[in-house]
Amino acid sequence: MSVLVVTGTDAAVGKTVVVAALAVLALRRGSSVSVVKPAQTGMAPGEVGDLDHVIRLSGVTNTFEVGRFAEPLSPAAAARFAGVPTVSLAEVAQLVRELAESSRLVIVEGTGGLLERFDEDGGTIGDLARSLSAQVLVVVRPGRGAVNHTALTLEAMANRGLEPTGIVIGSWPDEPGIVERSCVCDLEMLAARPLAGVLPEGAGRMGGEEFAEVARRGLGVMLGGSFDPAGFKAAL
């Protein structure tokens, strides 16, 4: 069994699409997959959330949303605004451990960035990853600010004893400019390893075989795909 925590440098960097890509490739290999979203924010009950997109894109059926809050805030702030209890990361950790007993891969999708607060004690997705001894995949947005945001995320991970499994660019534009192209080498230097994947802009609007093929081409071998980081850089 394996537990993989997917975090990001910020909100809206492509974490959900990366989670779906990981899930569809694992399912295509015949692996059992569970996906956990500890806290969905910015969505009222009944609205389409991140796990609905994961289900649509990947076909995974074993999904768990632990908490949902209507306001687009950190999980702790959203719970406080709604006047309801915060998500218990200890309970999330227990759920993940139970799922890991029967699922070959458990993917945990964070909310926002690594240090978003989940409770009033300051617990974060980084703390959850550490308690689970989980691998951590960092999803980044290319372009201006990407290097700084990634450096801060990796530094925060190191302070918690977490080593990144890899860095994935969550939404690569169809026509990248000099800013996007120039950040690629810097991101690899920060991570001290090649990119683990690059998914194209608009991948979340795909589905079925088209999305599965994009996932295969967009994620590296260690994540179940065929992405070639050297070839990607050579084509920039």
Q: Which of 6, 13, 25, 37 is catalytic?
A: 37
Residue owning tokens 């990248």: 176
Query: Which tokens sit at 217?
Result: 């081409």
Kindly report the CA angle at 88 between 8 and 16, in degrees rounded to 5?
30
Distance CA 123, CA 132 (A): 14
List, in sequence order, every beta strand (DSSP E) within 70-158: 105-109, 135-140
Residue owning tokens 């997109």: 53
Active site residue 37: yes
Per-residue exposure over 87-107, b if at least 16 CB sit within 10 Å of its own CB, e if not: bbbeebbebbeebbeebebbb
The residues annotated as belonging to the active site are 37
